[in-house]
Structures are given as C-alpha cells and as structure tokens.
A and B are shown apart, each in its own frame.
Chain A
C-alpha cells in the first residue's frame, strides 16, 4: 500500500480554520478558545509544531487577511511600521527599508531559504520566541516597540520585553501582535546584525548579535548605543549595561572591545549540539565587536555588506 508521511507519521489533528478580516474579529475568535487557539502568520513554525504535536490546537486563526497586519510603511514621524504578518521577502524587497534599516535586512534575508522567506514573518519570528531568532536582536537594537491588541484593548511594549522564555511570549489569551514600530532613522545612526553558523546558509544561529549606534562629534563619539544578543540565554537579551557604558565614549577599538567583554558578562548560554557555552560566550565578544564596527561604519554612511552580499564577494 502507498504510504505517505503526512498521513501516517505526522498527521495534523483536525482543527477549525478562520481567516478574519478585522482585528476585532480575530481577537474574539482567539479569546473564545483561549490556549487551544493559535495565530498563524507564515505558518513556517506553527505547522511544524502542530505536526510535532507540541500542543493541542482546536482553532487556527490566519491573520494574513487583516489590513493592519500587512502594513509595511515608513513616515518621518511614525518611523517604520512592520505589520506582524509581513513576510521577509517583502521587507528585503522594499527599497526604503533596505536604504534606511540595513540592520534589519541583515537578519530578514538569512532566515531559512527563499521558500521560508516567502512565508515567514518577523512578527511570527518574535511570537515564536526562540532564543536564536535572527530578527529579534535586530528589532531590539533598533528600539522597536510591539503593538498588541486584545480583548481589553490596545497596549504597547518595548520588543526586549516581549519574549519571556524559550517559546514563551508576553501575549495574554486573546491578544495579537499587530505590528512592530521602529523610530525614524537619522543621519549618524547605523545598525548591523551578524550571526555565527558553521555553514553558509540555512542554519540556526549559534550566536547572533545586533548592534545599533548613534554617533556625535562628527562620528568620533558614541551618543547612543543598543546591543542585543541572540542564542545565549532563554530569550534574546538587550545588553543594556554594555550599551550604556559606551555612551559618551570616543569611538575606538578599545571602547568597542570593552563593550564586547561587558556583553559577555550578561550572556548565559547553554551547551548543545550547536556549540558549547564557552564557545558561545567567546562568540559574543567577537560578534559584538564586529557588529559595533559595522554599525559605526554605516552610521558614517559607509557600505557594509550583509551575509548574503559578503558571500557574493
């Protein structure tokens, strides 16, 4: 008999599928079912997890038909608004985002392969709350704010507060992540994300670091800094002390190296198949240094290649 994997080995249990067109409708569909309802954006994590029977799902709420979730727009006042349902390919094909937020392109263009990027969203990456999510350190570095709507109305929070544990986010029952908002970029600001993987493509970060800087005094001084670490703790980490220690300092190799060491002290990596804890801690120092250097160069208007461009030579 012809046996197919999807029938025999990885059956998806029956569930109800809903594709609401408004936020209000989506919230009530979710609130009705509590924990047994799941939001689907690109589905690249959710469908895999449902096949793995990680949770019982009675209702899947596809949020891709809600206008607010599909917004990708920039304005000088509001900055960049990324709807939680916007897939990666729209982000790296948007010339305004490419020009203004290269530190976001660094991470959005290396999640999975092209097929995954055709569906996967930054909002989903964030809600999935994997410690190694590539786009989350970029969002933290860029001071993104999460906009949430739920049965009790709207609320917002800094993105660094959104992930609360491995696979756990701050959303309450019935709540939906609507969008992430990043302040308008200015001259003298730059950001860079890098991850370490043992391959060229299609891998999960052993460590990922996103850094953002604002320079003053003709690019000679750090006016503001944000460093974010991925895959070295139960959630992505905003290395606030390491960031603040740089503020007011002259831009120098010594200051940047010291920031790398300071960031290492807040990393609490585990040892697993991707790498031992000691190696991960070492990588934090290396990647903080490199991403700060990249962010400084971009803040000065210089071109810094992302991983895709770098591999192209």
Chain B
C-alpha cells in the first residue's frame, strides 16, 4: 500500500512524515522519526510505556494509527525537558530513584506530566489512580508516587 503524507506537530515542532495506514504512532515515532524515548512494552494498550499526549490528552501510542496524528499536537518524553534543563518531574524521578530498569519511565513521566497539567495538586490517591494504566515491574510504584507528589509540591511553591 502506498505511503501517506502526514503533517503534525511533535514537541512543538512542525513535522511531516510518510507512513502506511497500518503503522502505529508508536512505530513511526520510534522507527521513522527516531523518537526512541517512547517505549514499546505490551503493544496492546495494557502497560502505558508508549504514553504520549495528543492535543493534551493522554493516549497509548501503540493504539493510535500514525495517520491519525494529522493536524494534532503530539508530546513525547523528549518534549518534557527544555534547553534550560530537565522538567521538574524528570528531576524528581532522579532524586527519588523512581526507576530501576527504566523501560516504563518515559511513559510514567509523560502520564505524570499530563496529570499535573490538569491537576497541579493531586492527592496520593489521585496520583495512583491516574497512573494505574502505567505498569512498572521494578519499583513497587511507591517511589514513583512520591516523586510525582514531590514534583507537584515543588511546582506549586515555585
């Protein structure tokens, strides 16, 4: 099948690519565009490792067709840090050692950022509920939850 031209915005930059209709956004991000920060875990919407924001809404990029990115604004983990430094959520993940093997981390970072975008002062329960779609087999989640809560607190006082 011939490739389709898609025009989109990724991490604030206008981007265009060619893809087949069958290709997932995850596949194109990683294989065509080189955004390898977005990870493939289960490839069926269970683990959240491939989380991205589409027009601000959190989604699993393995369950999005790349062609659906047309006209959308996509945020991947590469879009979190600025030239000035890491996003506070990234810094807090480091400080709290909220990762071990790291494969789930980009998904958690994107999901946690999406939470803080719309709820700057989440409770612990709200953090755990929001992150239920992200699986981590190493940390036991506690450090992740603390990192997110600490980020919220710091961003509030900043």
Q: Which residues of A contact B (CB under 8 A)?
A: 4-7, 10-17, 40, 42-44, 47-48, 51, 60, 62, 64, 87, 89, 112-116, 118-119, 200-202, 308, 311-313
Contacts and interface: CB of A to CB of B under 8 A. Distances in A.
Contacts of A10: 43-44
B63 to A, nearest CB: 5
Contacts of A87: 57
B53 to A, nearest CB: 9
Given A12-B24, A48-B44, A118-B57, 9 more contacts: A6-B43, A42-B63, A47-B62, A112-B133, A113-B134, A114-B111, A114-B115, A311-B129, A312-B129
A115 B58 contact: yes
Interface stretch (B64-72, B75-83, B97-105, B149-157): B64-72
Interface residues of B, number: 40
Interface string B42-67: 01111010010010011110111101
Given A15-B21, A44-B63, A118 B45 contact: no
A50 B6 CA distance: 22
A14 B21 contact: yes
**What 7 A-B pairs are tightest by C-beta distance, nearest first?**
A113-B133, A17-B21, A201-B132, A12-B22, A14-B1, A312-B125, A118-B57
Contacts of B43: 5-6, 10, 51
A116 B60 CA distance: 7
Contacts of B31: 4
Contacts of B134: 113
Given A5-B43, A17-B4, A115 B59 contact: yes
A103 B123 CA distance: 24
A39 to B, nearest CB: 14
Contact of A89 (B27, B57, B63): B57
B1 A16 contact: yes
B95 to A, nearest CB: 25
Contacts of B16: none
B64 A202 contact: no
Interface string B19-49: 0111110110011000000001001111010
A72 B123 CA distance: 29
B31 to A, nearest CB: 7
B21 A60 contact: yes
29 contacts: A4-B27, A4-B31, A6-B24, A6-B26, A10-B44, A16-B21, A17-B4, A17-B65, A40-B65, A43-B63, A43-B68, A44-B60, A51-B43, A60-B65, A87-B57, A113-B132, A113-B133, A114-B133, A115-B60, A115-B111, A115-B133, A116-B45, A116-B63, A116-B133, A119-B59, A119-B64, A200-B132, A201-B132, A311-B125
Nearest to A9: B43
B22 A14 contact: yes
